[in-house]
Amino acid sequence: MKALDWFSSWFRDKSTITLNAGFMELVAKVHYKRLAIDTCTDIIANALTRCEFTTFKKGKETRGNLYYMLNVAPNQNQNATEFFHSIVTHLINDNECLVLQQGEELIIADSFDRTVYATKPNSYKNVQVGDFKFDKTFPEKDVFYFKLNDHNIMKVIDSLYEDYGKLLASGINYYKRKNNKRYAMKGDYLRGMTEEEQNQIDEMFEEQLKDWFDPNKEGAAFHLSKDLDMEDMSDGQKSTGNVGTSRDIRDLVNDVIDFVAMGLHVPRGIIKGDVSDIEKQIDSFLMFCILPLVKLIQTELNRKFYEKEQFLERSYIKVDTSQIKVVDIVQLANAVDKLFAVGGLCIDDILELLGKEPLNTKWSKKRFVTKNYQDAENLEGGEKNENEPI
């Protein structure tokens, strides 16, 4: 290996760039995008798993097999948390998710082909779960099909990252080039040399400078011969104030997180752990991200589990989202007291809000109203005329 070859191989990063006919081609790494997407996915899924799927029969809350299936074990291989994490992952990455009902189990399909009809129910074929492929075609009424958006937002994010990822790769390589070491070796190399002399010079560059540039060595010595001069040409030695820092790369990564968060309606502060205005951020997260997703899942489950007549008789599934937002018991006290005073909550309702088990007694289910309130129909302004009929 000659000295020039050694220097070029030392500074070249083959994992990020390749040289092609004198031009540099940048390779955009996808793990920055996956970091942003997976972080948003986990945040959305974790919020969804805090919801409780309550079941009602003719307006009365009941707990049966359906309640157990949606809140504890949808199938024999997954608990409810894993199940809904998987649904959210499919919805974000594929923009759709297919769930099969096999007996009293709900199973998520890994792949499928959907045929859309205009005047009759859609059908699903080539449905595969893991390594098992169903050899039947499922009609619309036998499956739960969830679709997140009319257009797959991930295709937009991927298109953005095709350009922005290269910009990020360029920034990383610029940081490396601006902060690595460069030396100019000055000496009389034009004189005639024997093969032995040339090998000695090559050995000097390869062996001595290798230790010199090794960041893991605490110290290294380099013998500078009489006719050899070494000048530091690194950007860090120049007074240009133009040396790249790792903060430049972090800013580009933050940009990737920002446009992924924007596409999935997750506030950027929640992703980055920013606690300023956290209440407003959570409210925005619930309003524009979680509640529409809950509505999507709730509507599809009601559409397939209940007939129209049953739903109109108030037999349905309702997703309770009150436990998503963690509220301090001290902050909750005034609101609970007010709701209890107007009959909005009973003792059992309050215990459930606090995450405790209800007493399920006759007195704990009673509702009370303070005497400060009266029937609005009996309110009349001014003094009452004694001759006026009651």
How is 137-174 classified by DSSP, letter by letter?
Answer: PEEGGGEEEEE--SS-HHHHHHHHHHHHHHHHHHHHHH
* Residue 117 predicted with pLDDT over 50: yes
- Average pLDDT estimate for 297-307: 96
pLDDT, tens only, 252-264: 778 888 989 999 9
Per-residue pLDDT, 228: 67
Give the per-residue pLDDT at 246. 58
Q: Tell me the domain boundaries of the chain.
A: 13-95+148-180+238-325, 98-147, 327-374
For 193-219, what is each residue's pLDDT tens digit? 678 877 777 776 777 677 666 666 666
**pLDDT value of position 245:** 59
Q: Is beta strand 17-20 parallel, antiparallel or unpaired with respect to 183-186?
A: unpaired
Confidence of residue 125 (pLDDT cuts 50, 70, 90): very high
59 Rama class: left (phi>0) / alpha (psi -120 to 50) / beta: left
Residue 355 pLDDT more than 70?
A: yes
pLDDT band at 24 (very low <50, low <70, confident <90, very high): very low
Type of residue numbered 291: L
pLDDT score, position 352: 82
Cα–Cα nearest to 110, from 83, 130, 133, 136: 130
pLDDT at 25 over 50: no
More confident residue, 231 or 8: 231
Choose between 29 and 147: higher pLDDT.
Answer: 147
Please work out, in degrees rounded to the nearest 5, the angle formed at the alpha carbon of residue 172 by the alpha carbons of 162 and 40: 55
Task: Give CA–CA dist 275/348, Å, rounded.
Answer: 33
Other C-beta atoms within 10 Å of 275: how many? Answer: 9
Residue 84 CB burial class (10 angstroms; 0-12, 13-18, ≥19)? buried
Of 153, 109, 147, 145, the closest CA to residue 129 belongs to 109
